[in-house]
């Protein structure tokens, strides 16, 4: 049995200056929410970007919608999943990005963003369109960037229906990706869709096939199954103690404004990670739990969930619980290999670790 808890679990997984198109809008309220959005009054078709006329096959996005492009997109507004986009399109793929939600990357995870910024210099020049997470998303800013494709995570798409309707009315396609659902088929569909949209179909298909094959090889057990209504949520202290789990995994992070979180990720050294993890083993009633007595208290980076490389976290869980069946697997080496093969930043830091090192 195992338990998964978090020192930052359940957090969001989930501005530039308006251009000349701003005069084409007036403020209105989104029906039923009272939240402001921008409604289009008029916009001349000549203000929209021109695309090549070469035909492309229709794209099926993560939620089964059909999206049609005339050619690989050249001015993309990217709402989320920046590492996944980079894995699919490469560092050069950011030459195709006109705008993104900066706060979700640079604001929430500066340790990660700073590394990508070093190898993708034009990140500083990409426009900021805001995010639905903090209510700053701006359709004015999106349109001022003259996009030929808007890519939205499903959780943003679901709350931007009026804006999506306006974009599509202008002939600007909207592609939905969904890595947050934690459904392998949606991971694959999102990856393949991004690949076709950016002219990297072969690379994306290889990534999707690799991901699905890794997931198919992993079997895990977790005492939280059936006790959490959503993909994440709280477990009562009494339940954890009564369940007497054999393994406990604490979600760590490098998020800003989380000084008490277990530090994991690029900037985390193993000593700091273990020092931040140790107090969890001292919680009231935990001394008698099998996991604590056996030294099976672990930290694992929150950023490894709901990502194209989240199979490495699954491998780590599986290896700890079934070491004999996964004796040939090295999850950290697998994560390092993914970075070397698909991402432009160097892998370093502590992403998954046991509180007490195994001694020979």
Nearest by Cα to 119 from 86, 145, 88? 86
pLDDT of 260-299, one tens digit each? 889 999 989 999 999 999 999 999 999 999 999 999 999 9
Global confidence as pTM: 0.71
Domain range summary for the chain, segments of one domain joined by +: 2-10+219-354, 46-215
Return the pLDDT at 273. Answer: 95
Give pLDDT tens digits for 22-69: 322 233 333 333 333 333 333 433 344 444 444 688 999 999 999 999
Q: Tell me which residues of the chain have a pLDDT lower than 70.
A: 1-55, 218-232, 358-360
pLDDT of residue 55: 63
Task: Identify which of 197, 196, 179 has the alpha carbon closest to the alpha carbon of residue 188.
Answer: 179
CATH domain 46-215 topology: Rossmann fold (3.40.50)
Report DSSP letters for 240-288, one per residue. Answer: HHHH--SEEEEEEB--TT-TTSPB-BTT--HHHHHHHHGGGGGSTTGGG
**Architecture of the domain defined by 2-10+219-354:** 3-Layer(aba) Sandwich (3.40)
Q: Hunting for tokens 């600007």 — which residue is that?
A: 172
Whether the domain at 2-10+219-354 and the domain at 46-215 fall into the same CATH topology: yes
Element (H, E) at 3: strand 2-6
């Amino acid at each position: 049995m195992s338990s998964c808890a978090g020192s930052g679990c359940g957090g969001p997984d989930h501005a530039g200056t308006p251009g000349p198109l701003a005069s084409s809008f007036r403020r209105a309220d989104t029906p039923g929410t009272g939240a402001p959005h921008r409604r289009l009054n008029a916009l001349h078709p000549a203000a929209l970007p021109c695309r090549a006329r070469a035909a492309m096959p229709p794209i099926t996005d993560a939620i089964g919608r059909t999206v049609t492009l005339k050619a690989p997109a050249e001015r993309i507004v990217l709402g989320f999943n920046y590492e996944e986009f980079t894995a699919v399109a490469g560092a050069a793929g950011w030459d195709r990005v006109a705008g993104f939600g900066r706060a979700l990357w640079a604001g929430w995870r500066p340790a990660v963003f700073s590394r990508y910024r070093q190898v993708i210099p034009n990140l500083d020049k990409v426009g900021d369109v805001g995010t639905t997470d903090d209510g700053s998303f701006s359709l004015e800013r999106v349109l001022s960037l003259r996009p030929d494709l808007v890519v939205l995570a499903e959780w943003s798409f679901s709350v931007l229906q009026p804006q999506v309707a306006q974009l599509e009315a202008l002939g600007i396609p909207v592609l939905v990706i969904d890595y947050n659902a934690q459904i392998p088929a949606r991971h694959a569909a999102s990856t393949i869709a991004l690949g076709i949209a950016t002219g990297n179909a072969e690379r994306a298909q290889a990534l999707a096939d690799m991901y699905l094959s890794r997931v198919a090889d992993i079997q895990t057990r977790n005492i939280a199954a059936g006790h959490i209504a959503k993909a994440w949520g709280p477990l009562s202290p009494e339940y954890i103690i009564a369940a007497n789990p054999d393994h406990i995994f604490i979600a760590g992070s490098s998020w800003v404004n989380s000084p008490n979180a277990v530090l994991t990720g690029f900037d985390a050294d193993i000593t700091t990670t273990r020092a931040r993890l140790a107090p969890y083993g001292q919680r009231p009633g935990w001394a008698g739990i099998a996991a604590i007595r056996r030294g099976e208290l672990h930290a694992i980076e929150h950023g490894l969930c709901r990502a194209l490389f989240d199979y490495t976290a699954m491998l780590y869980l599986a290896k700890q619980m079934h070491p004999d069946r996964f004796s040939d697997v090295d999850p950290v080496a697998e994560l390092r290999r993914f970075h070397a093969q698909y991402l432009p930043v160097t892998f370093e830091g502590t992403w998954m670790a046991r509180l007490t090192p195994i001694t020979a």
